[in-house]
Amino acid sequence: MSLPRIAIDAMGGDEGVQVMVAGAAMAQARHAQVRFLLVGDQVKIEKVLDRHAALRGVSEILHADDVISGEERPSQALRRARSTSMGMAIHAVKDGSAGAAISGGNTGAMMAIAKLALRTMPGIDRPALAAILPTLQASDVVMLDLGANTECDARNLVQFAIMGAAYARIANSQPVPRVRLLNIGTEEMKGTESLRDAAHTLKEAAANLSMRFDGFTEADKICRGDFDVVVTDGFSGNIALKAVEGTARFVGDLLRRSFSSSLRSKIGFLISRPATELLKHHLDPNNHNGAVFLGLNGIVVKSHGSANVLGVANAVGVTQRLLEESLTERIAADLARLGADSLRAPRKISSEAGQ
Specify whether 168 is located in the same domain as 273: yes
Residue 226: which residues within 8 A CB-CB, separation 6 or more?
Answer: 137, 178, 217
Least confidently predicted of 13-22, 42-51, 304-313, 334-343 = 334-343
CA distance 170 to 164: 10
In a domain, residue 318? The reply is no
261, amino acid identity: S
CA distance 179 to 41: 43
Specify whether 96 is located in the same domain as 139: no
Last residue in a domain, options 118, 136, 157: 118
* Contact between 312 and 19 (Cβ < 8 Å): yes
Between the alpha carbon of residue 47 and those of residues 44, 68, 221, the distances in Å are 5, 21, 47
Specify whether 349 is located in the same domain as 204: yes
CA distance 60 to 255: 45
Domain that holds residue 5: 1-118
Specify whether 6 is located in the same domain as 83: yes
What is the arithmetic mean of pLDDT over 131-146? 87
Least confidently predicted of 241-250, 292-301, 311-320 = 241-250
Instruction: Give the per-residue pLDDT at 281.
Output: 56
Last residue in a domain, options 90, 118, 146: 118
Q: Is 80 exceeded by the pLDDT of residue 342?
A: no
* Contact between 110 and 300 (Cβ < 8 Å): yes
Q: Is 90 exceeded by the pLDDT of residue 160?
A: yes
| Cis amide leading into 50 (omega within 30) | no
- Tens digits of residue pLDDT in 211-228: 899 999 999 898 888 999
Specify whether 178 is located in the same domain as 288: yes
119, amino acid identity: R
In a domain, residue 6? The reply is yes
227, amino acid identity: F
Q: Is 50 exceeded by the pLDDT of residue 352?
A: no
What b/e sequence results for 79-106 when a residue is b if at least 16 CB atoms lie within 10 Å of its CB, and e otherwise?
Answer: ebbeebbbbbbbbbbbeeebbbbbbbbb
Q: Is 70 exceeded by the pLDDT of residue 275?
A: no
Binned at pLDDT 50, 70 and 90, residue 278 comes out as: low
CA distance 300 to 296: 8
- Collapsing DSSP to helix, strand or coil, 214 comes out as strand
Instruction: Give the per-residue pLDDT at 244.
Output: 81
Specify whether 271 is located in the same domain as 229: yes
pTM of this prediction exceeds 0.85: no
Specify whether 142 is located in the same domain as 72: no
In a domain, residue 273? The reply is yes
Specify whether 146 is located in the same domain as 182: yes
